């Protein structure tokens, strides 16, 4: 599951992983056994960025998969890639991002333009991000 979070200026939230150098991405996370996708969405946001104060604007209509590059797959063993569900979210005005969570995954974040998202995020996720962003644009949401 992965989230595209928009700010009131229609900028996109990305965060820099604290375990991989210069690796920017959307927040993402796993779904626990017995957990619904949207339950996991709000739990993972709270765990990763310290807030779940968001509204769901839209959901990408299907699961999307990608493989890790060999350099990263070594670190992610036994996983070879991920299958994710994507959401477009709007950050509530009173939300406060806090990366100093119980198990921090990110050490920085920023809101960037749609044009900048793809040039700043992980190369192996670009095809997936392009597909999701294109869909939300075609739906008139971005």
Kindly report the backbone phi and psi dihedral angles of residue 49, in degrees, each rounded to the nearest multiple of 5, phi listed first. -125, 10
Task: Tell me the pLDDT band of 5, cut-offs 50, 70 and 90.
Answer: low
Task: Look at residue 54 and tell me whether its pLDDT is greater than 70.
Answer: yes
pLDDT in tens, 120-130: 988 888 999 99
Indicate the average pLDDT of the chain: 88
Is pLDDT larger for residue 130 or for residue 4? 130
SS (H, E, C) 37-62: HHHHHHHHHHHHHCCCCEEEEEECCC
% of the chain surpassing 70 pLDDT: 93
Q: Which domain holds residue 82?
A: 2-138
Q: What is residue 20's predicted lDDT score, i.e. its pLDDT?
A: 78
Give the mean pLDDT of 52-79. Answer: 85
pLDDT in tens, 68-124: 877 777 677 777 788 999 999 999 989 999 999 999 999 999 999 888 999 998 888
Task: Look at residue 137 and tell me whether its pLDDT is greater than 80.
Answer: yes
Alpha-carbon gap, residue 4 to 23, rounded angstroms: 16
Alpha-carbon gap, residue 101 to 60, rounded angstroms: 28
Number of compact structural domains in the chain: 1
CATH number at residue 62: 3.90.79.10
């Amino acid at each position: 599951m992965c989230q595209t979070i928009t700010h009131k200026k229609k900028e996109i939230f990305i965060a820099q992983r604290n375990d991989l150098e210069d690796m920017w991405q959307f927040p993402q996370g796993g779904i626990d056994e017995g957990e619904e996708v949207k339950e996991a969405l709000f739990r993972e946001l709270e765990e990763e960025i310290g807030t779940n104060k968001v509204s769901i604007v839209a959901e990408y209509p299907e699961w999307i998969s990608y493989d890790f590059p060999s350099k990263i797959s070594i670190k992610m063993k036994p996983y070879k890639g991920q299958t994710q569900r994507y959401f477009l979210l709007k950050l509530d005005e009173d939300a406060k991002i806090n990366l100093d969570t119980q198990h921090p995954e990110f050490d920085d974040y920023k809101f960037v333009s749609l044009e900048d998202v793809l040039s700043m995020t992980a190369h192996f996720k670009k095809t997936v991000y392009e597909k999701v962003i294109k869909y939300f644009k075609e739906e008139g949401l971005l």
